[in-house]
Structure 1
Amino acid sequence: MAAKFLSLACIRNESGFGDLSPRPHYPSMPKYPKGASSSNAEGSEAKALFSVTGMTCSACAGSVEKAVKRLPGIKEAVVDVLNNRALVMFYPSFVNAETIRETIEDVGFQATLVEDDMNEISTYVCRIQIKGMTCTSCCSTVESILQNVPGVQKAQVALATEEAQVHYDPKVVSSNQLIRAIEDTGFEAILISTGEHRNKIQLKIEGVRTDNSMRMIENSLQALPGVQDIDIDAELKKFSLSYKPDMTGPRNFIQVIESTGSGRFKAMIFPEGGGRESHRKEEIKQYYRSFLWSLVFTIPVFLTSMVFMYIPGLKHGMDTKVVNMLTTGEIIRWVLSTPVQFIIGRRFYTGSYKALRHGSANMDVLIALGTNAAYFYSVYSVLRAATSPDFQGHRFLRD
């Protein structure tokens, strides 16, 4: 037995395989094409980043990685399923980026080569105003839709401010795609701002009287780490600062400003206003006008169904039968209720349709269901009274 092992070792040494390299992760993966030496390839290494859409789990990432690594000339391939990215290190003399991209697509996923320098990849922050949200369910729906968009890293939606803040990769998705995703859920989206992952704040400075003081404050703020850009409005005594939130913040700015002038300068956050505030006021006016028009129709409905029935003369007029058991009061209430349901309340139908089309339910759906149930039951009662000589209905078309 020992002689057999010794003979095998001799055969191995004679064959020239004594310095075998470690076995690759995938046995069928050729690092270099047949006939090519490693010395010809090591000096010309390249790197490519691909955006891969359609991956849903680690198995998808594994299949992409395995397919890429089977190509000749691939040094390393790393697939990130969370960010839908594939980073490939390869030797251009044996394989190119287009071949790698086609290989990924052959697996069943869509691949796009990211042309930009990979060392300068940055996260963008997009602020979007969302109109039409009425409850936390609306926020959850929009947030879920945004987080499912490829390239979105984080999405937060606030009902109180009607605003969404989305952290995304600009090489994978654009702000226009984010707006379309929101509008597809049934809400109106308006872009407020987008750009690199940095915050912006406006400060109002009190105690500044000369241009020299403004320049002194600007130089002090510019010296802070993390401050990227400063815009000055000398007339309003306003400083607009763009900064990296992980390095500095408003508290540091105020401290620096107040220490610069030995206590002469006072800084405070500049109150926001402008277009957003005017838009908010216009929206309130629209709701107020709709409310007034609804009162024009609903107050008579309330009076005919709840008040006039206790006034003898008016009660007789309301109870006058027109056709079979159909009375004058019922016709009046039907005519007055219909515009409120379908004209003044059409925004609820529009919102319900858009929400249900995407498989979600919001407050518009709840309102539409409740009012439709009351309205169409009342219509049924009207039609039954008009076609039956002995139908006894209750007061309706008043909910």
Structure 2
Amino acid sequence: MATTNQNTVTQTFPVLGMTCASCASSAESIVTHQEGVVSASVNYATGNLIVEFLSNVTNAEKIRKAVQGVGYDLLIEDESKQQESLEVIHEKKFKQLKNKTLWAVILSLPVVIIGMFFMDMPYGNEIMWAFSTPVVLWLGRDFFINAWKQAKHRKANMDTLVALSTGIAYIFSVFNMLFAGFWHQRGLHAHVYFEAAAVIIAFILLGKLLEEKAKGNTSSAIKKLMGLQPKTVIVIQADNTEKQTAIENVKVDDVILVKPGEKIAVDGMVISGSSYVDESMLSGEPVPILKKENEKVFAGTINQKGGFQFKAVKVGKETMLAQIIKMVQDAQGSKAPVQKLVDKVAGIFVPVVMGIALLSFIVWMIFGGDNAIVQGLLAAVTVLVIACPCALGLATPTAIMVGVGKGAEQGTLIKDAESLELAKKVNAIILDKTGTITEGRPQVTGIQWLNNDDSKKYILFSIEKQSEHPLAEAVVKYLDKVNSTSLTNFDSITGKGAKADQNNETYFVGNKKLLFENNISIPEELQQQANEWSKLSKTVIWFSDSKQALSVIAISDKIKKTSAQAIKEMQDMGIDLYMLTGDNEATARAIAEQTGIKHYKAEVLPQHKADFVKELQEEGKTVAMVGDGINDSTALATADVSIAMGKGSDIAMDVAKMTIISSDLTKIPQAVKLSKQTVATIKQNLFWAFIYNLIGIPIAAGILYPINGFLLNPMIAGAAMAMSSVSVVSNSLRLKWKKVI
């Protein structure tokens, strides 16, 4: 392996064809030992290889060939095309798996019916053979291929267990069917186990299908983030002509024109014009920000009604949006691969089962007497049949399916087993403010008229209806039943408000600075009300004629009705709560006081939210992040448990492992309690699955024979295997009727 004394290149490539964590380990090992590779890490959870290599010694194509040599593949396309290719591959794989599962179930049904109820029907064995052969040898061929790959690297997983149990059951059944006389001469009946082989394949394929369905979420989230950047921009040429240019061709110092309603393509500096820009994807705050000359603009943010020109300062991977995308990818990739308990156990369980089967055959050969070979073979096969992974394989997914279904009924969408498992351990929750604790949009929370005279409210409504200021929309919505009137000489005053004439009188709507500049007096009763609202961190705007203020209006982002109750409930559960917001200190303090939150931070940028998550994790806390915006996506990806508000951005919901459809915070403590119940059910299922094997395997090997002469028939072993699966499924269904308390 090369050292780092020369210039190195670090790249990320999707790895194709992995089916378990052992595959990731194999791919990582082969890449690490390639000449010129400094370091390599394969994450099964994200399906990515991060490799640092010496560009003058090796390249991506050589690394790809090494990975292909152990049965996998690398996608080495440009990053811009990777996501599209991955989605196509995922969709194709999902369709293939869906077809395989459907056919496996269809072909297995008649085998089960004949094997359980019509064993003695004419040509029953031959019919079962005909139906089970395509299931085992064609639809289940990947299990045998993957088991062989693992064997070559001296490893074992669930595929090994499936291949062994189905392969032995199938071969043994074929032998018994074709050479039934071999057993009849020895006074034994030739049983077949085609139904066991076919049903195992069908069950495991169904589990794989559910797993594959959950896999595409990360790539779709990243794709949506990338979709925030427009594909083309209008660049102003040296001769002042406009030219439409592809985003990848934009260079630093290019002058770009942004029209009303367009997305800003790259980071830059405004050089002419002005407009309000919606930067909620960065700050999470709902009020658009005025951008004028010499002010910064960022890729992915949305221009409102004005137009302006700006000079490109950062392009490509250097933009703020690109950095957010990179941070989300890194945060997701930094998590250790979640290796299911059954996969971990299989690494020990499979060799142990094989050893017991072989040992039982040897013991029978030595001490078995006249029928030693026959009894030894039967004992070995019975051990392998009874060690079928159905109960183990069903233990987790059935409980998860019921738990996820119950969560959905209660308004919480849960994406995977990992988040359900970790939710019960959460002892620190970070809450975004806007859209999570609050409604997420500016609303008029109060209006006071001078001497309670609101006769001029139709003029206020008419001015605000024409205004481009983002707060004007809140006023218009509040006064939506008021009739408008015609105005003359309307003028929008940048950064201050607007004015208009009506019946030879001039009226103003805006901030206090606008009133002072026009020598407009403010009556004491209105000023006192404005001071009270300001203490509560509400935005105050004024409405006046040319002489004095006529009313004062308070606008703020209202706290949701259930937020305070939910926060108290979570604190009563012993969970530490933290509020992080991009808003100012005064607003953050006011919200914290009103909701009972003890810890908060104001003016926090997206990357700082993720850093704070890491700080709490380093303190040993299991952290849940709750947010609704693109600005929360990095922190959501970094947290142990990520929860998105259903009324928030699609990207936040894609990155998060849980989504609260109603955006009601009281669903969070419910989700924690559901987690506890589901995990308890999984543990019960695994207990019964393991106990079944711990008791069943020794009996199958013939441990009771010296004591009472009992030998377990392979057919009974198959029935016991089926009963273990039924018991696991039944226990999972109990969860459905439990109350979440």
Q: Same fold (TM over 0.5)?
A: no
- Structure with greater proportional helix content: 2
Higher RCO (Cα < 8 Å, 6 or more apart): 2
